[in-house]
Amino acid sequence: RKEVEQDPGPFNVPEGATVAFNCTYSNSASQSFFWYRQDCRKEPKLLMSVYSSGNEDGRFTAQLNRASQYISLLIRDSKLSDSATYLCAVKYEYKLSFGAGTTVTVRA
């Protein structure tokens, strides 16, 4: 079983729609959780950390469910500029493990 798994998508949504997707992780001792955004042929950039109580950053909401070992990302009021691949990352000790990414395409 992979350490971190994501639905690859793609999720094709119209502008203004809400899109949500999950990421599961296998190590129950994982300590920190993140969502990164990666544009085509670029490096990942940190979108947000994910906290136990859930957290929101503008149109983005992240949730953590430790019991079921998954994290989620919800994007409200999608913009064209939200089109990207979203990588979840899970940290245990010093190591950051990534999922393969979920591709989101927002269309006009």
Find the part of the chain contacting another protein (CB under 8 A) among 12-20, 55-63, 64-72, 84-92.
84-92
Phi, psi of 51 (to 5 degrees): -105, 160
Q: Are 101 and 38 in contact (CB under 8 A)?
A: yes
Find the part of the chain contacting another protein (CB under 8 A) among 12-20, 34-42, 58-66, 73-81.
34-42
Nearer to another protein by Cβ, of 44 and 78: the residue is 44
**ω into residue 10 within 30 of 0, thus cis?**
yes
Q: Which residue type does 50 have? A: V
Q: Say whether residue 98 binds another protein (CB under 8 A).
A: yes
Q: Say whether residue 34 binds another protein (CB under 8 A).
A: yes
How far is it, in rounded angstroms, from Cα 5 to Cα 24? Answer: 5
> In the complex, which residues of this chain contact another protein (CB under 8 A)?
4, 8, 31-32, 34, 36, 41-46, 49, 87, 89, 91, 94-101
